[in-house]
Amino acid sequence: MEKAQFDVVLMGKQKTKADEEIQSLISEIKPSQIPSELLYGIFIQTTDGDRFELKNNHKKKIIRYDNIEGFLKSFNITEQIAVVEIIIDLHKTRQHLAASTSKILDPIFGP
């Protein structure tokens, strides 16, 4: 697959008001990779206007922005892609960030 000629959009699905903080964070940054356990879903929009979801084949992979073409290649998509929508679960992302932050800061500042 040649270099991407499509847009990649990172969006979030939120469950609680607290998840809005993560939504504002992801709108300001573009992560280099997204762990699959934080994914809610991946949708493809074609240049013909069709939209479909990539089903469960991505569950044990890390989505890397610098190699999105390689990731998509494993799905054997024949349509011309216009947009790749990566939707993350903001609630899981917030929990993941809180746990990671605690692992770093608790030994320094205490529980």
Per-residue pLDDT tens digits for 37-54: 888 889 999 999 999 998
Strand pairing report for 7-13 and 81-89 = parallel
pLDDT attached to residue 58: 56
Percent of the chain with pLDDT over 90: 14
Q: How confident is the model at residue 1, as a pLDDT?
A: 43
CA distance 53 to 8: 14
User: Tens digit of pLDDT for each residue in 17-32?
Assistant: 766 766 766 666 667 7
Residue 65 buriedness (CB in 10 A; 0-12 / 13-18 / 19+): middle
pLDDT the model gives residue 109: 81
Q: What is the mean pLDDT of residues 75-84?
A: 90
Q: Give dist(CA 51, CA 39) in Å, integer.
A: 18
What are the sequence ranges of the domains in the chain?
A: 7-109
- pLDDT tens figures, 54-64: 886 656 677 88
CA distances from 10 to 30, 87, 107, 109 (A): 8, 6, 33, 34
